[in-house]
Amino acid sequence: MTLAMLLAADDPTSLIEWLTDSATRVRSGSIPEQAWTTVWHAMAALAVVVATMVPLAVVLAHHRKAELVSTWLVNIGRAVPTVTVVGLLVIVSLRNGLGFEPWPILIALVLLALPPVFTNTYTGVRGVDPGAVDAARAMGLSTTGVMTRVELPLALPLILGGVRTAAVQLLATEPIAAFFGGTGLGLYLYLGLAEDDVYQVQAGAVLVCAVALTADLLLALLSRVLVPRGLRIGAARPGDASRSRRRPDAPPAAATAAAS
Amino acid sequence: MTRRRIVLALVACVVGVGAVAAWQRIQDLSLETQATNPIVRWEWVFLREDTPAELWEATLQHLQLTLMAVGIGFVLASVLAAVALRFRWTFPPITAFTGFLYTVPSVALFGILVTYYSNTEAALIALVSYTLLILVRNIVAGIAGVPRAVVDAADGLGMSRVRRLLTVELPLAVPVIVAGLRVATVTTVGLVGITAIIQLGGLGSLIFEGFNSQYYTKMVVGSALSVGLAVALDLLFSRAEIALTPWARRRAS
């Protein structure tokens, strides 16, 4: 590398230049690499949570077994700051020789995604019209059949809402890992703030936002595709008309959890 | 009901402290760890002379940022909610906009704002923008949820629009509005911790300092106080709600 390149590397003159000139990122890694780290951490955590919590919540909600737990989960999740969880988990991981990454951040993200996914699934199944369940039973469906073919599809809008909230939260929180010895898109923010490098901070912020908003959009599209037309949130249902006359359409309270 | 909550909160605290103590015990079983760096040095918490003042200062800064953000957020949200209630068509765009603000990752928002504003301004702008969605939605839902018959009765008594709002609709909407305030406050307490990345953060700065200097006691204490602050503010608001809606208690008993 020539001296001129090094000088240029230390001193980009605009955000665009920072984003396009890879020589400026010798110390903090390439953009696709860091973006991929952030995205796979979030996707892995979300996959684990969806694979375990959705079935669990459906079964528990079918038997009405965890009425308090579902509200407690959200409240506890809100009160315990993620910084705390990530920080303490990193210490535990270091002490057990597991390093800065990826275990602490993965576990923290799993814990973070639990409340919205569990509670939304639970609330969704809980809110299924009992008439539909009775009808399914009368038609001879087994308990498993009722859960997988009636309750799950009917609760799908809320479940996907929870998954979407969780995904955005995960992608918004993953960058914290960089402040506790990890990598990912947060590294640009961490190094930029530490070195007073305005463009690096701005670039990191723009990239983190872009990833989170893209995920939000993709999951919105996914729920458009997956949810049957008659079930969309806001779709008129018989019986709703009298209740909603003076009430603007507000999404169910469970659909949003803490920002991070 | 409230007594049960206090008992629950106390139990939670005891369980938390017990868990930390047990965890420390397990960690300390390894002699090597014990010799080098125990997770909680109780002497730092209880015997060091400067500790109370430092913790107090951090807690105060945390509380100050939280209350300022929620206060400003509440004023702004009230204005937005008033607009949404007066002109119904503005409600969807207002929720869409505040919903968008809510989606922006906090680390990113703090980061980008700090390149344009001072640290405190950046933190406040970001924190306020996160409270708006919840507050606007709950204020609107609370006031729009007042039963039609009650509104008609107020109109029948010849109340003006403003008087109806202040003496009938607002008091009846208090539970829903306070519920929104509670969620916003608890969320903000957590978010203030993250402002440590821009040299603020109150208790959050203890967490980051503790991590960077490998003095883990600070992290544990900072975390515990942060959770405690969130629970305390939540309880405070629930007491305020009871005080503001005496009729609800009378009906319940």
Topology given in CATH for the domain delimited by A28-232: MetI-like fold (1.10.3720)
User: What CA–CA distance (Å, rounded) separates B2 from B78?
Assistant: 28
Q: What is the pLDDT along chain B (253 residues), one digit of tens a residue?
A: 566 777 777 777 777 777 777 776 666 655 555 456 677 777 777 777 777 888 899 999 999 999 999 999 999 999 999 999 999 999 999 999 999 999 899 999 998 899 899 999 999 999 999 999 999 999 999 999 999 999 999 999 999 988 999 999 999 999 999 999 999 999 999 999 999 888 887 898 998 988 888 888 888 888 889 999 999 999 999 899 888 888 876 665 5
B16 touches chain A (CB under 8 A): no
pLDDT over 50 at A238, yes or no: no
CA dist., res. B58 & res. B63, Å (int): 9
Q: What is the mean pLDDT of residues A180-200?
A: 89
> Is the model more confident about B199 or about A11?
B199
CB contact under 8 A, B194 and A176: yes
Least confident span in A1-15, A116-130, B126-140, B210-224: A1-15
Chain A contacts in chain B segment 146-185 (CB below 8 A): 146, 148, 183
The pLDDT score that the predictor gives to residue A250 is 42
Give the pLDDT score at A245.
Answer: 39
Sketch the domain layout of chain B as residue ranges. Answer: 1-39, 56-252
**Of the partner residues B112, B114, B140, the one whose CB lies closest to the CB of residue A248:** B140
HSE-CB of A21 using CA atoms within 13 angstroms:
18
Q: What is the pLDDT of residues A55-65, one digit of tens each?
A: 999 999 999 88
Higher pLDDT, A259 or A151: A151
Query: Are the CB atoms for B197 and B110 separated by under 8 Å?
Result: yes
Cβ–Cβ < 8 Å for A81, B62: no
Q: What dotted CATH number matches B56-252?
A: 1.10.3720.10
Task: Kindly state whether B190 is in contact with chain A, defined as any CB-CB distance less than 8 angstroms.
Answer: yes
Spatial distance between the Cα atoms of B156 and A240, rounded to a whole number of angstroms: 27
Please give the ipTM for the structure prediction: 0.77
The per-residue pLDDT for A147 is 92
Residue with tokens 């569990």: A118
Those residues whose C-beta lies under 8 Å from the C-beta of residue A42, and which sit 6 or more positions away, are A109, A167, A170, A171, A174, A215
To the nearest whole angstrom, how far is the Cα of A2 from the nearest Cα of chain B?
A: 30
Contacts of A248 in chain B (CB under 8 A): 84, 88, 91-92, 140-141, 144
pLDDT at A235 (0 to 100): 54
What are the sequence ranges of the domains in chain A?
28-232
pLDDT reported for residue A215: 94
By C-alpha distance, which of B246, B136, B111, B128 is closest to B187?
Answer: B128
Task: Classify B47 as helix, strand or coil.
Answer: coil
| Residue A250 neighbours by CB distance under 10 Å | 16
Helix ranges (DSSP H) in chain A: 3-10, 15-20, 31-62, 67-79, 82-95, 103-126, 130-138, 143-146, 152-173, 186-195, 198-226, 240-243
**pLDDT value, residue A181:** 87
What pLDDT, on a 0 to 100 scale, did the predictor assign at position B113? 92
- Average pLDDT of the residues in A181-185: 89
In Å, how far is B187's CA from the nearest CA of chain A? 6
Contact B114 A202 (CB under 8 A): no
Contact A90 B211 (CB under 8 A): yes
Residue A128 DSSP one-character state: S
Å between B220 CA and nearest CA of chain A? 8
Q: Under an 8 A CB cutoff, do B115 and A173 touch?
A: no
CB atoms within 10 A of CB B239: 12
Is residue A242 pLDDT above 50, yes or no?
no
CB contact under 8 A, B91 and A198: no
Mean per-residue pLDDT, A2-12: 52
Q: How confident is the model at residue A91 (pLDDT cuts 50, 70, 90)?
A: confident
Q: Answer yes or no: do A87 and B104 touch at CB < 8 A.
A: no
- The average pLDDT across A28-41 equals 88
A125: closest CA of chain B, how far (Å): 24
Q: What is the mean pLDDT of residues A228-243?
A: 55
Tell me if A211 sits within 8 A of A38, measured CB to CB: yes
Q: In A, which residues are within 8 Å of B193 by CB distance?
A: 81, 83-84
Q: Tell if the CB–CB gap between B105 and A260 is shorter than 8 Å.
A: yes
Which of A82, A95, A175 minimises the CB distance to B33? Answer: A95
Whether residue A201 has pLDDT greater than 80: yes
pLDDT band, residue A224 (cuts 50/70/90): confident
Q: Is pLDDT of A152 > 80?
A: yes
Question: Max alpha carbon distance in chain B (Å)?
Answer: 79
Residues 6+ apart with CB under 8 A from A65: none
Measured between CA atoms, how close is B137 to chain A, in angstroms?
7
State the average pLDDT for chain B.
Answer: 86
- Angle CA B94–A70–B232, to nearest 5: 75
